[in-house]
Chain A
Amino acid sequence: MDSVLRALTIYLILMVVFRLSGKRALADVTTFDFILLLIISEATQNALLGNDFSITNAAIVILTLVTVDIALSLVTARSGRVEKLLSDVPTIVVEDGKPIVDRMARLRVSVDDVLERGRTTQGIERLEQIKYAVVERSGAISVIPM
């Protein structure tokens, strides 16, 4: 029983923390983000396993995490509202070559980020060549040329 409850609690905590940390949190993983991820996994390990290192415990914890994930994906597939709540919505940050400054500030995205993405994926040279730039739910920037 305790394994299932532990896994559920940790899943919930991680989901809330990462959801509230915003779109850009882990989308462009820098070296430091990667280290942070490792530290987070170390920190959750003890809480997940307690001092029970049995295979049964590990199996139940893994099974619970995966099953909750499947269950939530089933719920989000059926309900648009829950999906928004759990997985965010995309945000347009550049429209017809013009950056929407307040949105970019809120999402912690700079014009340089958009241009970099435009260069790497579309070979775009200038902001005016961008019809739309969208910060997707995953935090990745999509660039649609004129």
Chain B
Amino acid sequence: MAGSRAGQQPGLQIGVDPSFDRIQWRVERFAWILMALVILLALLGFFGGGGPLMRATERSGDSEVRYNRMIRFQGQTRLEITVPGSGGEARITFNQPFLADMQIEGIHPEPAAVRAGSESVTYVFELAEGEESADVSFSLRPEKIGVHSANIVTASGTLSVWQLALP
């Protein structure tokens, strides 16, 4: 009998192909390493859902916003804003296009008033007595895949934020 060429094996009717096997094995091994790398990146936060490398903070004067750069389409995300106040109230203004693509799931604490305009929406928070700034958290859900950028205007300046919503 001839040797074991691809697809032939003496005595056994079987479609073996050792060279294809070897290539497949190599590709598999490579894919496993790739998969482990993707998981590592996911743990670091590259694919959204939190993670140490994708936390971002913007500051302007006394205001600060903390958020995740990478978010997911229709997944939850949070903007945590520290905003200075004056005259017993603190204001946070968002540009309208940002809010059009982000569904607001909740604001904590609840704003005392919301003032809407054609270009922007302003949330007004009453400060507790003796307090000079407020920590406000917005729970958001992106309604669009792609880049979401916001200009958040506070008493001490404008915070520019961008987030990438993955599919």
Contact = CB atoms under 8 A, between A and B. Distances in A.
Contact of A56 (B32, B47, B51, B76): B47
B49 A1 contact: yes
Contacts, number: 65
Contact of B42 (A3, A52, A71): A3
Interface stretch (B11-19, B33-41, B79-87, B92-100): B33-41
B50 A67 contact: no
B121 to A, nearest CB: 25
Interface in B44-74: 44-45, 47-52, 72-74
Given A1-B43, A1-B44, 17 more contacts: A2-B49, A3-B47, A4-B42, A5-B43, A51-B75, A52-B74, A54-B167, A56-B72, A57-B48, A60-B47, A60-B49, A63-B35, A63-B38, A64-B39, A64-B42, A67-B32, A67-B35
Interface of B: 32, 35-36, 38-39, 42-45, 47-52, 72-76, 166-167
Given A67-B35, A70-B32, A56 B167 contact: yes
